[in-house]
Amino acid sequence: MAEPSALSSPPPRTEAPGDVPATTPAGQPSVDRSGIGDALRALELDTRLVGMIGALAVIWIGFDVLTGGAFLTPRNLWNLSVQAASVGVMATGMVLVIVTRNIDLSVGSILGFTGMVVGVLQARLLPELWGFDHPLTWAAAVAAGIAVGGMVGALQGAIVAYLGVSSFIVTLGGLLVWRGAAWWVTTGQTVAPMDGLFKRLGGGFEGAIGAGPSWLVGVAAIVLAVAALLLTRRRRAGFGFPVRPLWAEAVVILLVAAAIVGSVLVVNAYPLPLPVVRRMVEARGLSTDGPLPLIAHGFAIPVLIALAVGVAVTFLASRTRFGRYVFAIGGNPEAAELSGINTRRVLVMVFGLMGALCGLSACIATARLNAATNANGTLDELYVIAAAIIGGTSLAGGVGTIHGAMLGALVMQSLQSGMVLLGVDAPMQNIVVGVVLVAAVYIDTLYRKGVK
């Protein structure tokens, strides 16, 4: 939200002519036009987003110093992002669930269950139907995972919405039910290996798109971001609403572009391992005697999936009726009902979406493991909820952002990955993650009080 503009001093930047109030309305603090504060306000940056990026930077630099430069390497950052993808995908859905004043404790178990379904489908059922390594196997498996997850989620949502059982209880039951169901799919057997194309969803060197396509993705992302910013600006100006000053718009565009170009440079600076390159060269029938070429990983497919999900759910949350209703229900369920919103249907859709995203995450996790096990996703519910909460989603409902939750997932993964690099043992890792979660929520509470 933009801060109230500095009204007491002339003239308050680029307000449209009809919009400049003659007097300071009561309740709005008059702010001095001090240089930096004013410039930051003109940028209309989300202060809590800036704070989170700052915290992430501190964590990254801190670990880099502690590990003697082993943290901020293309290789570690690339792996970090791949490991965060599965939780990141689910965290986007968890934001919507928590915003409606609900919770979903079953996401890890849904992931386990749908992962088994996806695994059995591609490793046993589909090969019987159309043979191994059929080009459509991966797509059918993903579609099935999303569909099964969506149905499981919608079922739980229907129990919450129409039978009035609290979501805490329904999904606590779901945590046990779907973990048990995951075991029943194969009576506990692990299913492996996965389909060749499907495996790419999990990352690894087969699951990276390479340097050229990474640049294409980066350029496309910049073009889209700039187009979205400028379109919004034109629409606002067309209605005579206040818009950011041009310089601020340029700074925002530059920041966005720098972030995108930076991430392309990082993923393109992580070369494939030499044995892999040698095999690739041999596969083309070329000689491997001379110096081998450096081939970059580029973006990992699971990371691209997570980013695409992030953009899609952000769109859903902020640009559609469904998203508006999700937030309205979280802000005041009674008001939403009295406004004629079918709140029960919206809840079923929210839980259905959460389940579908678990199905997608199950594909990523199963592909990364190259095996479907019934323990896959154990404790993920805690990481997903923690990511959403660290990302600024309020358990009281009504407040939360998708990008915050994805950054939260990255923060959690960074802590874990950094501690692994430092050789911290697993019990200590859990202690640190637990303490950070509580501390993050406490800082957030202070921040919210400060904003009011």
124 touching other proteins, by CB under 8 A:
no
Output the six-digit token pair for 149: 């997850």
Determine if 321 is a binding residue for other proteins (CB under 8 A). Answer: yes
Query: Could you give the string, one character per residue 236-265, with x where binding to other proteins holds by CB under 8 A and - elsewhere?
Result: x-xx-x------------------------
Choose, by CB under 8 A, the member of 8, 9, 21, 255 that binds other proteins: 21
- Per rule CB under 8 A, is residue 319 in the interface with other proteins? yes
By beta-carbon proximity to other proteins, the closer residue of 75 and 233 is 233
Is 423 a residue that touches other proteins (CB under 8 A)? no
Q: Interface mask (CB under 8 A) for other proteins, residues 323-352, using x and -? A: xx--xx-xxx-xxxxxxxx-----------
Stretch that binds other proteins, among 21-29, 215-223, 248-256, 415-423 (CB under 8 A): 21-29
Question: How many residues in the shown chain lie near other proteins by CB under 8 A?
Answer: 38
Q: Is 357 in the site for other proteins (CB under 8 A)?
A: no
Determine which residue in the list 1, 36, 163, 283 makes contact with other proteins, applying CB under 8 A.
1
Rounded to an integer, what distance in angstroms lies between the CA atom of residue 350 and that of residue 348? 5
CB of 380 or CB of 444, closer to other proteins: 444
CA neighbours within 13 Å on the CB side: how many for 362? 39
Q: Which stretch binds other proteins (CB under 8 A): 26-34, 57-65, 76-84, 181-189?
A: 26-34
Residue type, 66: L
Q: How far is the CB of 383 from other proteins (least distance, A)?
A: 26
Restricting to residues 372-411, which ones interact with other proteins according to CB under 8 A? 398-399
- CA neighbor of 434 nearest in space, from 378, 376, 389: 389
Nearer to other proteins, 310 or 397 (CB): 397
Residue 308 one-letter amino acid: A
For 73-77, the CB contacts below 8 A with 24+ separation are 74/266, 74/267, 74/269, 74/270, 75/270, 76/417, 76/421, 77/266, 77/270
Residue closer to other proteins (CB basis): 58 or 451:
451
CB of 133 vs other proteins, minimal distance in Å: 39
* Cβ atoms < 10 Å from Cβ of 331: 15
Pick the piece of the chain touching other proteins (CB under 8 A) from 251-259, 285-293, 313-321, 411-419.
Answer: 313-321
Binding residues for other proteins, rule: CB under 8 A, are: 1-2, 4, 19, 21, 23, 25-28, 235-236, 238-239, 241, 315, 318-321, 323-324, 327-328, 330-332, 334-341, 398-399, 452
